[in-house]
């Protein structure tokens, strides 16, 4: 081996290297970067669109609510009967939903009569009275028949609203009645003072300003005061509403029945609290008879599902305990409500 030649090669500058080649896949990387950038921009735009939609929905929360129509019996489109639902405990929201259903029916000139489908144990005084007033107004302004159709439970405030209708039909297994008033609240004095060592302090002007109070056990005088100022007026109004709505009953009859008792449909029929035992077909037949029509399309209103419902459901799922929640927890409520099993 000639080491001299090796030295010559070394001095000449090592073994020649091939020229550098362009990296493979550069074009795909550029295309992928463009696609990724476009995707990010699209998502940003979509985010702002959703935010705008949420703001729009929030700002229009007090505007008219839309209800879809579900056909439950076919018939001529220009002659219709609408079913308005009252389902669950009656509160402000329930009363508002009922109002919008009634408004939808009032604005539809093809509606010839209503069925008020009631499945409610009652609820607040104002909510029950507001719904009763809506039905009474509709009958007076339109002259169209309104039939109450009871399902499941139609007690206390549920019955209060039903007597505003022309007739009341109840399914055989309906529980109704419970004509009366109830109020309840929590007395936290022992829990706060003896268990938690908390001493409530109340500063007031006027001896009765804090009656009733969750921070002390009520006296006989306080209970009588609440009965005279809250329970009796609400009870007397309930009795008067039933007496006005049920012409078949005398004032003495209503007073006898208004002890908070509940009645199955057959008992309610005997006591003239309702007019007939039947099903939805019988209620439809009754409306047709009173409206002097032979055929009609029967529809039921359904609240349109929207993004605001999703948002309210998510925000409502969080339990918040603030001053308002504390007030609602400790403040007594006077109710037209049956508190039995549902």
- Are 192 and 199 in contact by the 8 Å Cβ rule? The answer is yes
Cα–Cα nearest to 293, from 305, 282, 284:
284
Neighbours of 243 (CB within 10 A): 18
| Pair of tokens at residue 114 | 């209503």
Alpha carbon distance 28, 22 (integer Å): 14
Beta strands per DSSP E along the chain: 67-73, 80-87, 111-120, 122-124, 146-155, 167-170, 175-177, 182-184, 262-264, 276-277, 297-303, 333-337
What angle is formed at CA 110 by the lines to CA 106 and CA 114, rounded to 5 degrees? Answer: 55
Active site residues: 156, 209
Residues 6+ apart with CB under 8 A from 249: 242, 243, 257, 272, 273
CA of 153: how far to CAs of 118, 171, 291, in Å? 8, 10, 27
CA of 79: how far to CAs of 111, 146, 241, 290, 320, in Å? 6, 15, 32, 14, 48
210 backbone dihedrals φ, ψ, rounded to 5°:
-105, 25
């Amino acid at each position: 081996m000639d080491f001299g030649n090796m030295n010559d090669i070394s001095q000449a500058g090592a073994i020649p290297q091939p020229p550098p080649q362009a990296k493979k896949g550069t074009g795909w990387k550029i295309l992928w970067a463009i696609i990724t950038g476009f995707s990010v921009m699209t998502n940003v735009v979509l985010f702002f669109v959703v935010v705008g939609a949420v703001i729009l929905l929030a700002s229009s929360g007090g505007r008219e609510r839309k209800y879809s129509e579900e056909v439950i019996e076919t018939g001529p489109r220009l002659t219709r009967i609408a079913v308005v639902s009252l389902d669950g405990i009656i509160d402000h929201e329930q009363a508002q939903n009922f109002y919008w259903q009634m408004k939808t029916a009032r604005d539809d000139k093809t509606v010839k009569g209503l069925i008020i489908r009631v499945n409610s144990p009652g609820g607040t005084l104002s909510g029950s009275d507001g719904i009763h007033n809506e039905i009474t107004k509709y009958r007076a302004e339109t002259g169209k028949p309104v039939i109450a159709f009871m399902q499941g439970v139609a007690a206390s405030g549920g019955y209060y609203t039903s007597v505003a209708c022309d007739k009341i039909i109840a399914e055989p297994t309906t529980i109704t009645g419970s004509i009366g008033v109830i109020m309840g609240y929590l007395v936290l004095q022992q829990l706060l003072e003896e268990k938690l060592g908390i001493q409530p302090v109340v500063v007031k002007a006027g001896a009765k300003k804090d009656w009733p109070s969750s921070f002390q056990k009520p006296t006989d005088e306080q209970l009588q005061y609440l009965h005279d100022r809250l329970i009796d007026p609400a009870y007397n109004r309930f009795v008067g509403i039933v007496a006005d709505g049920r012409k078949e009953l005398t004032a003495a009859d209503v007073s006898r029945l208004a002890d908070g008792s509940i009645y199955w449909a057959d008992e309610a029929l005997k006591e003239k609290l309702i007019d007939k035992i039947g099903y939805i077909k019988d209620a439809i037949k009754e409306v047709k008879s009173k409206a002097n029509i032979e055929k009609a399309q029967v529809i039921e209103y359904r609240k349109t599902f929207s993004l605001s419902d999703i948002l309210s459901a998510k925000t409502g799922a969080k339990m918040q305990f603030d001053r308002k929640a504390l007030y609602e927890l400790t403040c007594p409520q006077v109710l037209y409500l049956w508190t039995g099993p549902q």
